[in-house]
Structure 1
């Protein structure tokens, strides 16, 4: 079956009784025409009746804009945890009547450069580089007039970026425990080689600084664990070790939700309950944080909001700059308020 023919500008002009030039001026809202309101109404009514839609390619030739943006990610599109960044990009672009071209590169630097060049070859109106882990990456230079925003990352040449406010989140999560009366707190987080290497993280050092400063300001006693990788295994091993050495601990701050899941497992094996015996808070808000029991109180990485912010930098009125977005505290059931300071377990 032959699909119905798409209505053309000539069809609209014929139905409206106007010239193609007049109809084009009206439908594209081009200034300077002397057409009457009645003619404009006829043109728009004819276009609506025929279901006419302007040809994007023709519009692009006239305006020099393609109404597309590029989204290049390392692992965002294949990582359920960070896929909200894609959702935020698509939704925001739609509001600006733009289409999104998506490329996935993995950790291959050459693939990122190739994807970037392909986006530029397709004359996108701007490019977002979205990263799952907030780190520093090298991005090729874009032609003049093509803005680039790094979402959840930075570049050595200081391109505009959107990052989570990890320092404020660190302070907030420490305060959640201290506001609940906890003053002897285990802290499983410190990875010096990551915190000190921007190619691996540009935010972790800020997260740790926020935690440490908040605890110190209020005189809490913290017991830190140093590990090689932020994994469930690290959370399990260090919870077991810290409680053996410091049974007075009443709460844990886990560096990530993955570490927190290990804390939960260790506490269960020790016959302890969250939050009755030990409170736990964390960072990231992975899906499992809402599924474990009790639900994990955590600071959410705002992937969708960061992506939306990036699109607004490209297409809206937001300044091309460096922005920090808050990580909201997602309060669940893993924190117990202490009525009085315990003297031991």
Structure 2
């Protein structure tokens, strides 16, 4: 039969002080309550000898603070790559002495409502509301009035009432353009991927690419349209090459597109980067596995998760959108221009 955990009263009795004095010492209030250093040391020593741990449930009932945060996501909890955002959130929560509850809704509004309701019943202090892909969301009604940080998503409100942490996709596009320009490329630069306006990441990446190229006096030579997956990317690039296209650079809108582009280029007899330079976005594991390894602009999932929790727990942080930098992971897929004539 497990032994009972020591109580605050037992700590006080061993230290020879009142229960309230022991409580004030262990709560760090010995200064404002004018408790002597000698008494404080006796309480701390008694707590250590008894291996005393405070009853957090009882404390939360008194203070209405549970030191818990809930992360509610659509699918990032089960995605091995975007799951790094959970690792970042968890690390920040632990660093601040909080527990992190994690729940996934699979995008089902009924499951989401039930999950949030259950978490509210458990009196969590704050919520991280997360999305797998960067997009605009409508905050669930149940979360209105709660302390919330949006992770990888944002609302359309002109004056945000919550913190929102997203990747800086525009700056990432600009960085991709700079990689190309600094390698010496000014012409033959093609974008690969569907540029649909409703895709947040694609829209912002392309805006950054165009801005970065324009600053260097260059611009994209064209677009190879395809869905953001290897098979359609392979088919689209294969068809473009078969039709006579001779690109110098392919800027793929994500790593999966780059995989398809690699296959089409190799099949057509082109070598990366000697004949065609290729770079991409996301820096998934795929980027380092490709041969040659793919230069990619990394999604900072871990840093975003950490930042969301930091903002939640910072009493002075003003609500607003925080854009987290996306670093360039330079590898071997970008080379200097070659004469294709």
TM-score greater than 0.5 by the shorter chain = yes
- Higher deviation after alignment, 10-19 or 297-306: 10-19
Cα distance in 1, alignment partners of residues 144 and 40 from structure 2: 37
Shift of 1:12: 1.0
Q: 1:189 aligns with which of 193, 204, 213?
A: 193
- Higher deviation after alignment, 39-48 or 240-249: 240-249
Secondary structure (helix, strand or coil) at the match of 2:292 reads coil
Structure 1 alignment gaps of length 5 or more: none
Cα distance in 2, alignment partners of residues 305 and 221 from structure 1: 31
Aligned length: 334
**Is 2:327 aligned against 1:328?**
yes
* CA 1:238–1:175: 2 relative to 1, 3 Å: farther
Runs of 4+ in 1 over 3 A off after TM superposition: 141-145, 156-159, 244-248
8 Å Cα contact 1:247-1:344 kept in structure 2: no
* CA 1:114–1:202: 2 relative to 1, 3 Å: farther
Cα distance in 2, alignment partners of residues 125 and 242 from structure 1: 54
Cα distance in 1, alignment partners of residues 318 and 301 from structure 2: 19
Cα distance in 1, alignment partners of residues 333 and 57 from structure 2: 55
Structure 2 alignment gaps of length 5 or more: none
**Is 2:182 aligned against 1:179?**
yes
- What TM-score do the two structures reach when normalised by structure 1? 0.91
Residue in 2 that maps onto 1:124: 124
Residue in 2 that maps onto 1:219: 218
Cα distance in 1, alignment partners of residues 142 and 124 from structure 2: 11
Secondary structure (helix, strand or coil) at the match of 1:335 reads coil
8 Å Cα contact 1:171-1:211 kept in structure 2: yes
- Higher deviation after alignment, 43-52 or 31-40: 31-40
Residue in 2 that maps onto 1:268: 266
- Higher deviation after alignment, 108-117 or 42-51: 108-117
Residue in 2 that maps onto 1:136: 136
8 Å Cα contact 2:248-2:277 kept in structure 1: yes
- What TM-score do the two structures reach when normalised by structure 2? 0.92
* CA 1:271–1:203: 2 relative to 1, 3 Å: closer
8 Å Cα contact 1:153-1:163 kept in structure 2: yes
**Is 2:241 aligned against 1:237?**
no
